[in-house]
Structure 1
Amino acid sequence: MVTEFPEPTAPATGRGEVFLRYLDYFRETVVAKVSALAEGEVRRSILPSGWTPLELVKHLRHVELRWIEWGFEGRDVGDPWADRRGDRWYVAPEETREDLLAALRAQGAHTRAVVEGTDLAAVGAPGERWEGAEPASLERVLFHLLQEYARHLGHLDIVAELAGGPVGE
């Protein structure tokens, strides 16, 4: 799926649609960049911090899970930190690129359904996600997700270029 950059001049039905367009764009750009890398490159780190492109994909899926399902909706998601082992992102050897990318897209579809069915001013359900603070509004959660995606996509841009993958947006 090719998602066009959400130009600020493109008409939108509201702020929720703007958030969704940017999230979809960032998510699909992550999918495209990771899909274009050679199999050996998606499980190899070229950075001192040690993360791999597949670990980034799994992390982003769990970021959405933690903020939308576990946080905003207050749902039991099992282990919300399943993208980590200790203080590192982790992908098991049996986890495939295809499965991780499908999980990322499915999480995005869930986020879309929540945003389309909820007022942006709605406040999240109380729960562990908020670590004792008052739950945030959906709009604040979405703003946080956008910065997560934008920041990590920038990281992936550099890693993909260094690995001989796609360059640019």
Structure 2
Amino acid sequence: MSLPFPSPSDPAAGRTEVFLRYLDFFRESIVEKVATLPEPELRASRLSSGWTPLEMLKHLRYVELRWIEWGFQGRDVPAPWGDRRDDRWYVAPDETLGSLVADLRAQGAHTRAVVEAADLETVGPPGPRWEGAEPPTLERILFHLVQEYARHTGHVDVVVELAGGSVGE
């Protein structure tokens, strides 16, 4: 089911709702676009950088994990860079579109719960995520996540179009 684009003219209860609408929209847009690809295209790269659509799904799940759980919440995350192996994105042969989509959506649900329970001006605890820098506010983290999703949605658009999949928003 496609989520409507979160138009700036749509009423919102506040900035928190706006951030969550954009994150939900981009997350589901990427899932829908990748799901249009045939199985061989999910694990193949059409770009010289070498990333695959499944790697992108896994990467985005870990982006949210790093910024929200490991960073903002200050949780001990055993493998915050679990989307990488040998300094590149990695998906194991037994990881599937279904499992990666479920993981991404579960991470999105966690992000939503954390964001809805906090004030945007809240600063999380210092920790290894920040490498000694002052932790940012939740609002700054959400700005970063929105730009990360927007940028990667564009990347996925190009890859899906090259593979003959659906085009457009």
Q: Which bracket does the TM-score occupy, shorter chain normalised?
A: over 0.9
Q: How does 1:33-52 map to 2 (within 5 A)?
A: 33-52=33-52
Counterpart of 2:12 in 1: which secondary structure?
coil
Cα root mean square deviation, aligned: 0.6
Once the two structures are TM-superposed, the CA of residue 69 in structure 1 deviates from its matched residue by 0.2
Distance, in Å, in 2 between the alignment partners of 1:125 and 1:98 is: 34
**What is the aligned-residue identity percentage?**
71
1:102 aligns with 102
Distance, in Å, in 2 between the alignment partners of 1:13 and 1:125 is: 27
1:6 aligns with 6
1:151 aligns with 151
Counterpart of 2:55 in 1: which secondary structure?
helix
Q: How does 1:135-150 map to 2 (within 5 A)?
A: 135-150=135-150
Once the two structures are TM-superposed, the CA of residue 124 in structure 1 deviates from its matched residue by 1.2
Runs of 4+ in 1 over 3 A off after TM superposition: none
Once the two structures are TM-superposed, the CA of residue 2 in structure 1 deviates from its matched residue by 1.8
Unaligned runs of 5+ in 1: none
Q: Which amino acid aligns with 2:147?
A: Q
Question: C-alpha deviations, 1:126-158, integer Å up to 9, x for none?
Answer: 100001100000000000000100001100000
Unaligned runs of 5+ in 2: none
1:58 aligns with 58
Distance, in Å, in 1 between the alignment partners of 2:10 and 2:38 is: 35
Distance, in Å, in 2 between the alignment partners of 1:141 and 1:114 is: 12
Question: C-alpha deviations, 1:95-125, integer Å up to 9, x for none?
Answer: 0110000100000000000111000000011
Counterpart of 1:164 in 2: which secondary structure?
coil
Once the two structures are TM-superposed, the CA of residue 84 in structure 1 deviates from its matched residue by 0.2
Distance, in Å, in 2 between the alignment partners of 1:28 and 1:131 is: 31
Distance, in Å, in 2 between the alignment partners of 1:9 and 1:48 is: 39
Distance, in Å, in 1 between the alignment partners of 2:150 and 2:17 is: 17
TM (normalized to structure 1)? 0.99
Distance, in Å, in 1 between the alignment partners of 2:68 and 2:11 is: 26
Once the two structures are TM-superposed, the CA of residue 86 in structure 1 deviates from its matched residue by 1.7
Q: Which amino acid aligns with 1:19?
A: F
Once the two structures are TM-superposed, the CA of residue 87 in structure 1 deviates from its matched residue by 1.4
1:130 aligns with 130
Distance, in Å, in 2 between the alignment partners of 1:118 and 1:14 is: 13
Once the two structures are TM-superposed, the CA of residue 6 in structure 1 deviates from its matched residue by 0.2
1:86 aligns with 86
TM (normalized to structure 2)? 0.99
Q: Which amino acid aligns with 1:15?
A: R
